[in-house]
Chain A
Amino acid sequence: MLAYIGRRALLGIFTVWAISVLAFAIIQLPPGDYVTSYIAQMASMGSVVTDEEAQNLRIQYGLGQPIYVQYFKWMRLIVQGNFGMSMEWRRPVTEVIGERLWLTVIVSVAALILTWVLALPIGIYSAVRQYSVGDYVATFIGFIGLAVPNFLLALVLLYLGFVLFNAHIGGLFSPEFQDAEWSGARAWDLAKHLPIPAVILGLAGTAQQIRIMRANLLDELRKPYVVTARSKGLSEARVILRYPVRVALNPFASTIGYTLPYIVSGSIIVSLVLGLPTVGPLLLKALIAQDMFLAGTIVLLLGVMTVIGTLISDIVLVLIDPRIRLEET
């Protein structure tokens, strides 16, 4: 079993590496570099940046060298635990991201939990009562979340929040807690701001989860062991919950890994609209400003989060599904 997890971990590391390359590539894709966009910014504010100045900047930022050189420099930094300087924020990348990363995780996880709370029962119900009215209604609700463009939904909720409840506009904290020290009060303030983003994000993922649960369960429901269980004289509820559902949960658990990036991606858009201090808006800005270390690090971190998510789900899977334990050990 340990060997198995070890193997998965190795794979994860490989994946992370691959992502780091991809991340770096992604950032290099757009034309120009940070200096170009910096000059553009200056220019649009009526300030002059001459070619010589630009050249200087490029040298100072170590741009201009071939991409792979830059990549290896970056890698070396990272290995030393230094993710480099954000060109736009003129601070170490780690500081810039800082709290935002955790807020991202919090928002995502909140959404994830919500997703399950909705998806599991609905999925089970609509599998057991396939084609019943309930099945339709349940899946319908699930799909609405998927179908509504979440950026629009977010904006509308934002506005309604202001009109109806005079709520603080956007963000995850009230101004007074914006950069206060962590405290019970601050956590509570965060909790109060969490529902809207969580709902918007959660809903988007629910349909997918419902479908997975439903399909798995439909699959299991046809297995002979269900008949066996029934023929023992168990009550229907117990038959369903103790056997097929239990088995159907396994593939479900394995989706954690894939749900996480889905939600994190979604969180970027929603964060933008709701102005959440997550890495989402930061990433978008960084990509536009071509602030490569910042953008690169964020993409990398998101990737790592995903890999970790996958790893966790693998481990969970091993724990709850003895079969794998057998095969793998």
Chain B
Amino acid sequence: MTDLGRTPRTRQRRSRIVMALVVGLLTTVLAAGALAQMAKSGLIGKLEGPEVVTDPAKFPKTLNEAPQLAALVKAGKLPPVAERVGQDPLVIKPLREIGRYGGTWRAGFTGPADFWNGFRCCSGPDHLMFWDYTGDKVMPNLARGLEMQDGGRAWLLHLRRGMKWSDGKPFTADDFVFWFEDIYRNKDLIPTPSAAMAINGKQGTIEKVDTHTVRFKFPEPYYMLPDVLAGSTDLAGQMFGYRGMGGFAPAHYLKQFHPKYAGAAELDRKVKEAKFDSWVRMFLAKNDWALNPDLPVLSAWKTVTPINTPTWTLERNPYSVFVDTAGNQLPYIDRVVLALAENLEVLNLRAVAGEYDYASRHVDLGKLPVFIENQQKGGYKVYLDPGDYGGDMIIKFNLNYDADPEIGKWFNTADFRRALALGIDRDQINETFWLGTGTPSSVVPADGNKYNPGPQYRKMWATLDVKKANEMLDKLGLAKKDGDGYRLRADGKGRLRIEIMTLGGQFVQYTQIAEMIREQWKKIGIDLTVQEVERSLALKRTAANEQQLGAWNNDGSEHLFTFPLHVFPFELAAVATSGPLYVKWFHSAGAQGKEPEPRMKELMEKWKKAFGVPEKERIQLGKDIWKIAAEEVYIIGVIGMGPASMGVRVVKNNMGNIPSRQYNSPDGKTPGISRPATFFYKN
């Protein structure tokens, strides 16, 4: 080196020392562990949210409304707010403060398939009952109350007096009867009755008691009904109207599209006019909350330009029954505009650029650094809402796999499953794909969850222990290995090859993670093949029992009973299955399919039983179910309680009543559970 070279070199050295120090610091931080890190980052706050006020004493005496509505009232185009809301408003105590009216909530969506986007943000939520912000407690919502009778065989649903549809027509028991008799029971509209309306496979009924009282009746005790009404089930309100579900429907409007009320000829004409292939298609389209602007709704906002246009716009429902504690009719925000984003990168980049006021759906955890980096520029703040479910990523063993008996045999061997679970280096995966924000975990839900069986189950069979894993596999009779160190099949048909099926383009990068696991399982001599497929094929293969391992997440499983399909084989149409034959067996009450092994059977029995017992017992059953799940490892938990799916929240600084952390769950319609109707613009 020349003399010239020296000075820069010394400078380099100095800067290096500094950097070394930085690293030292960082490593200690890392040692302090993920949680400490989160705390430092301040991205995860404490769980909080608005509350429903049930004590009439605390109800506001007078009601106010948005200025533009007031103007309409003055103009005589709209009845006064008191009339519109009715005698029993749904009072919500905003998280922090009483907000101001006005503003447009800008967000993005990805097309007509993305209707959940609107359900979650803007449908009210219009459930009859709904969760409080902890996601554990069921509170009255559209219904004023739910009263158990006859040991859970009947439930009285009390509606709010004077409550109206968005077109001003009263919302009464008739809307339930219409739904039940003319929609739910119409074979064309609903070919298969819903499990939500049944207890132990026996269907219930809905009947009118009086204008404001409805009775659900079931042949056997159905203690679970409150949760079912609160959760994202077939009785979850209008959002499932597009499938003819919901529990109620605007009779006065829909009758004109129903053959029973509109004459066949007349209806036929309408169908032709609207270019539909059948009256069923048309009816369902008309009953689609996201698609039909004319459909009377009960949600805080209503669709004005439908989801199948470049911008899905919703505007305040003038008859909204929601009010804040000061008597202001909710929502505060006038309009919600969801602009079509042709692809997720564009959507995310728009969020980065601060073009959205509130975004969590489709926001990619992998881009977290980019979001943080641009907080100032974009004028937003990033929050993380880790889910309460145990698996942002889980791996399901198809226990019914029989195309290759050897493989099937191993899948049904608990220790084999456990060994594989021990072969996964979850810290690596967490660091790489969750940027350290997740928690290595078994499938059991967060410790706070009421069904959580106890802390010891978090790490059960969910730690990296290559040595033990190898021992277990050797013991099972898989000791022989080939030249490349992979274990050989017991039947001498060469290497033991296992295939995992993943889906691309999801919130979690299953394929890439699976690739990493493939590398990790080399150390325990397991040869994994990663097979990325697209949805419809995945479905075909799971239904056809062709899947070996399937990667997915178990979000929703924190509500074990209303969202069971990732806890045990419950649903045929699943992108990852634990055993299609078990599903058949379960639903046909043993008539078809394959009888599960004892413990699985036990798990299923407990689940069924829970619907018919009081909450206390149910919680115990829930704990037991999770215990079995964790011990038997039917499903490998990889990373849980992470923000990967819709847990990265980007919110403009000028938005008010934003929780620093919210309950992240499809059953809670997050952010619905934080009552977006109470969000507002500070300026």
| A contacting B, Cβ–Cβ less than 8 Å | yes
A interface residue numbers (CB < 8 A to B): 30-32, 36-37, 39-53, 55-56, 60-62, 82, 85-86, 88-92, 96, 155, 158-159, 162, 166, 168-171, 175, 178-179, 271-277, 281, 285, 288-290
A206–B116 alpha-carbon span in the complex (Å): 44
Which residues of B in the span 348-369 have a Cβ within 8 Å of any Cβ on A? 349-350, 352-353, 355
* A32-B537, A46-B666, A271-B342 given; A178·B355 CB < 8 A: no
Answer whether residue B575 sits at the interface, using C-beta atoms and an 8 A cutoff: yes
Count chain B residues whose beta carbon lies closer than 8 angstroms to a beta carbon of A. 57
B573, A42: Cβ atoms under 8 Å?
Answer: yes
- Interface status of B278 (Cβ within 8 A of chain A): yes
- Do residues A53 and B192 form an inter-chain contact, with CB atoms below 8 A? yes
- Across-interface contacts of B572 in A (CB, < 8 A): 51
Taken together as a complex, chains A and B put the C-alpha atoms of A61 and B308 apart, in Å, by 18
Greatest chain B CB density within 10 A among A48, A271, A274, A285 is at A48
Complex CA gap A118/B353 in Å reads: 34
Interface stretch (choices B27-35, B106-114, B426-434, B599-607) = B106-114
CB within 8 Å for A169 and B243 given contacts A40-B536, A60-B278, A89-B308: no
Contact check, A275 vs B343: say whether CB atoms are below 8 A apart: yes
On chain A, the residues within 8 Å of B573 by CB distance are: 39-40, 42-43, 48-49
Q: For chain B, residues 528 to 561, give those with C-beta under 8 angstroms from any C-beta of chain A.
A: 534-540, 556
B449 at the interface (CB under 8 A from A): no
CA distance A44 to B533 in the complex (A): 14
B509 within 8 A of A: no
- A288 contacts B275, CB within 8 Å? no
User: Which B residues are within 8 Å of any A CB, using their own CB?
Assistant: 106, 111-113, 116, 188, 191-192, 194-195, 232, 240, 243, 275-278, 280-281, 285, 288, 291, 305, 308-311, 337, 339-343, 345-346, 349-350, 352-353, 355, 503, 534-540, 556, 563, 565, 571-575, 666
Given A168-B355, A290-B536: A175 and B308 within 8 A (CB)?
Answer: no
User: Could you list 14 examples of A-B contacts with CB < 8 Å?
Assistant: A41-B113, A46-B563, A48-B195, A56-B191, A56-B280, A60-B280, A82-B275, A158-B346, A162-B353, A169-B346, A170-B342, A179-B310, A179-B311, A271-B342
In the bound complex, do residue A178 and residue B343 qualify as a contact, i.e. CB atoms below 8 Å apart? no
Distance of A229 from chain B, by nearest CB (Å): 53
Q: Are B343 and A281 in contact (CB under 8 A)?
A: yes
Question: Closest 7 interchain pairs by CB?
Answer: A275-B346, A40-B535, A275-B342, A52-B191, A37-B536, A281-B342, A43-B573
Alpha-carbon distance between A106 and B565 when the two chains are bound, in angstroms: 48
Q: How far is the CB of A20 from chain B (nearest CB, A)?
A: 20
Smallest CB separation, A59 vs chain B (Å): 8
User: For B191, what are the chain A residues with a Cβ–Cβ distance below 8 Å?
Assistant: 50, 52-53, 55-56
Expressed in whole angstroms, the minimum distance between the Cβ of A164 and any Cβ of chain B is: 12
Chain A's nearest CB lies how many Å from the CB of B510? Answer: 12
Residues of B contacting A159 in the complex (Cβ-Cβ under 8 angstroms): 349
Check if B540 sits within 8 Å of A43, measured CB to CB. Answer: no
A61 and B281 CA atoms in complex are apart in Å by: 9
B335 to chain A, nearest CB (A): 12
Which residue of the partner chain B has the closest CB to A92? B275
Give bound CA distance, A30 to B535, whole Å. Answer: 12
Query: How far apart sit A311 and B572, CA to CA, in the bound complex (Å)?
Result: 52
CB–CB B232/A46 < 8 A = yes
- B535, A158: Cβ atoms closer than 8 Å: no
**Minimal beta-carbon separation of B497 from chain A (angstroms):** 24
Given contacts A168-B355, A175-B339, A178-B339, contact A43 B345 (CB under 8 A): no
Query: Nearest Cβ in chain A — how far from B236, in angstroms?
Result: 10
Known contacts A52-B192, A281-B342; A89 and B565 CB within 8 A of each other: no
Interface centre among A92, A179, A275, A289 (most CB of B within 10 A): A275
Give A288 to B537 CA distance when docked, in angstroms. Answer: 11
A94 CB, min distance to chain B CBs, angstroms: 10
Q: Which residues of A contact B538 (CB under 8 A)?
A: 40
Rounded to whole angstroms, the CA-CA distance of A82 and B343 in the bound complex is 29
- Point out the residues of chain A lying under 8 angstroms from B285, CB to CB: 90
